[in-house]
Structure 1
């Protein structure tokens, strides 16, 4: 494996920042100018009122400062258009709120065309999103090769090739961490170039040598420890100046739990009201499908592993329901009624769980709740992977990261559960209210699924 020093990241970053900022300022300016034309019939607005271009001039500088601080621009945003767009629109909203405060305190609200302001924000927000669709290609064309932010240094072990890191072999660049001298240190620095992060994969007996070698770099140095994977999700903390590994303790603080609960109550109440015709129609359809209760109640494992009773529309014949989930539902399962098959395929059978959310047993977004007897290839879920219990540190959800990624349906193999578990742990570790909102929106596109039966 031949190592090539990464090109100058600093020069590329400056050009990329400049290009992105100019494009965003132009988008905001054009957005408010277009709002002038739509609302007031003229690009420049009407005499006596601050027209859209003046609003853009007030918002754009503040937006740039907020966007820079919020990580809208930079090398990491290339190839991550959606994240860049979300951050850009949020920065625009913050800049607009600051402008409203200034306008109110300056007592010039009467001179402001409110409709132009709202229209300009809407057009600019849409423009910032659309701009991300081509700004990456334009930036790459102007900037050239994008330097690697992360370098994976391999020393005597075998690892999977990552998708977003430059891989180097220590032997190929002639570096030996046990040989501590200035020439070796300089050789490592030249090979790393301007990377910001260096991750080393090496045998345990060489970790201490690599720890010393990495301290000479200005980049962030890390050592890959495969044994720590079994502790995931884990974080590093400190106790009396001693480093500790946090292997449990809840991923959300009190404030986060309050915000998430508020979102759950608002969305569940609104959904129950808006979807009441569908709930009533589903109940009638189940009643007409045969004798038995309309709702199917089953014990599931909830937050802190406490059991709760989940609500679903009954989709099986009354005498053939599986309260313990000993047998997973199969395709064309004879236990499922004709109406039940439709409810499952369209996810309508899950709608009664809105009441579970309102009662506080579930959340709108979270790991899906499982029955205690659920199995993957005849093995109980918690026996498949020791990390399984980590998903119970938060409330289970009606939808989740695993579901929007397509991990639904039966768990005929251990891999089916592990794939879901990986997404669940990722969600637990990196929770944010914005991610919840994105998952909710993404769920609308996966309500119908081939594996929903």
Structure 2
């Protein structure tokens, strides 16, 4: 639907200036007045993306979309007039065609938006978003257009100490926009913890505020709900982050291909076993995925669960493995994870299920651990550039990293990703990398 809106917005502007050409020359074509379209359309699209002209609110309420898109169009035309004043572009344009085109752009844009709103409503009805209701030992009436998940029949009882349950929940919620949970009061807090790390808009039907850390109020079928979690990135921000990832990953894979080939050859010559080490890690929304790394340990002495951190004199590490770990070359295959979409260039580092801080599993140290998975894991992150890497012998080793990860999620921006990426160059070789 977003793509359809963009296409018809573009058609509105192009069509409007064609009307201007008819008014001026009596025919359609690409005369000089159409150059205005070339200048204004990119400005309009970028402004519309930034001010939310393509968002869930717009799909639900046509008037919101009209107001935001019209504001973006005003800014685009104002920018063109400003540019033309300094570069004398307008002197070479037929003013009558340009004036008609600008005025007709607003008329066609509003018309198309109203027509599309009616089409969307007839075709999709109230199912603009994918909404799920989770019933956990509670029975509430649910409107027909909501999906229903019963925890008893799907084995989805909330348990923050069970990564497999979190993985099952993540897979059931993939592609969902909003989750409403109806549960017993004693289960509200566990559900709140799970939803906060799911990277999704989550609400709990409840009368209690403080226990679950509500961040707002919502409603469901006449009942009040507490908003306990919100997806950290909008559709536009996720798109920007994905483009940023691909713009870096694709060229990097091409440039580093000789390094990949040389490293693979050295690994095969040094010890028996596969070139790549694959291990399940916790990813976005607490779903499990396979991470790729160059194998740095002897195959028969590897640690698939990740419960034993590598030490400085670890005899499991091969000769080549010691070098590629010290220089972080072993992490390069994660560019493939970025290419396939399971990781980002920048984000919280993915951990193995068996990772320990002292004698405790990571999620046993701090229940906020699951919150860090609201974004895709990254090859590098804020914790890494601050020097928080290597083995986690104490609880504090995890707490510092967790605090940095949560800080990154709350304050994400593409410029911060770029700054972290640049800063990573300083810590590629680090005293804690072994």
Q: TM-score, normalised by structure 1?
A: 0.49
Deviation of residue 305 (structure 1)?
1.1
Shift of 1:406: 0.4
Aligned to 1:310, what secondary structure does the other structure show? strand
Partner of 1:317: 298
Separation in 2, partners of 1:243, 1:403 = 41
Report the CA distance between 1:243 and its aligned residue. 11
Cα 1:387–1:289, aligned 2, differ >3 Å: closer, same or farther? same
- CA-based RMSD of the aligned residues comes to 2.8
| Counterparts in 2 of 1:328 and 1:445: CA distance versus 1, 3 Å | same
Residue segments in structure 2 that go unaligned for 5+ positions in a row: 1-78, 93-208
Distance 1:310 1:353 in 2: 7
Give runs of aligned pairs for residues 252-271 of structure 1, distance below 5 A.
252-271=233-252
Q: 409, 412, 417: which is aligned to 1:428?
A: 409
Check conservation: 1:236, 1:243, Cα contact below 8 A. Answer: no
Distance of 1:313 and 1:351 partners within structure 2:
8
Aligned-partner Cα distance in 1 for 2:346–2:359: 28
- Which of 340, 346, 370 pairs up with 1:365? 346
* Aligned mate of 1:381, from 362, 382, 385: 362
Question: CA 1:442–1:99 in structure 2 vs 1: closer, same or farther (change >3 Å)?
Answer: farther
Give the conservation status (yes or no) of the 8 Å contact 1:394–1:428: yes
1:419 and 2:400 correspond: yes
Quote the offset at 1:249 in angstroms: 2.3
For 1:401 and 1:230, locate their aligned partners in 2 and report how far apart those are by CA, in whole Å: 30
Q: Structure 2 matches for 1:284-323, cutoff 5 A?
A: 284-323=265-304
| Alignment correspondent of 1:341 | 322
- Quick check: 1:394 aligned with 2:370? no
Helix, strand or coil at the partner of 2:229: coil
Query: CA 1:229 to 1:325, structure 2 compared with 1: closer, same or farther past 3 Å?
Result: farther
* Cα distance, 1:247 vs structure 2: 3.5
Match runs of 1:6-25 below 5 Å: none
Question: Among 232, 238, 248, which residue is 1:251 paired with?
Answer: 232
Structure-2 change in CA distance of 1:230 and 1:407 (3 Å): farther
In structure 2, what is the equivalent of residue 174 of structure 1?
A: none
Task: Answer yes or no: is 1:237 the counterpart of 2:216.
Answer: yes
Sort the Cα spacing of 1:442 and 1:97 in 2 relative to 1 into closer, same or farther, 3 A.
Answer: farther
Number of aligned pairs? 237
- Structure 1 residue 258 displacement after superposition: 0.9
8 A Cα contact 1:304 1:394, kept in partner: yes
Q: Work out whether 1:445 is the aligned partner of 2:426.
A: yes
Alpha carbons 2:217, 2:227 under 8 Å: kept: no
Question: Residues 245, 416 of structure 1: CA spacing in aligned structure 2 closer, same or farther, 3 A cutoff?
Answer: farther
How has the CA–CA distance of structure 1 residues 319 and 97 changed in structure 2, closer, same or farther, with 3 Å as cutoff? farther
Whole-Å Cα distance in 2 between the matches of residues 364 and 395 of structure 1? 9
Alignment of 1:113-262 (within 5 A): 236-239=215-218, 246-262=227-243
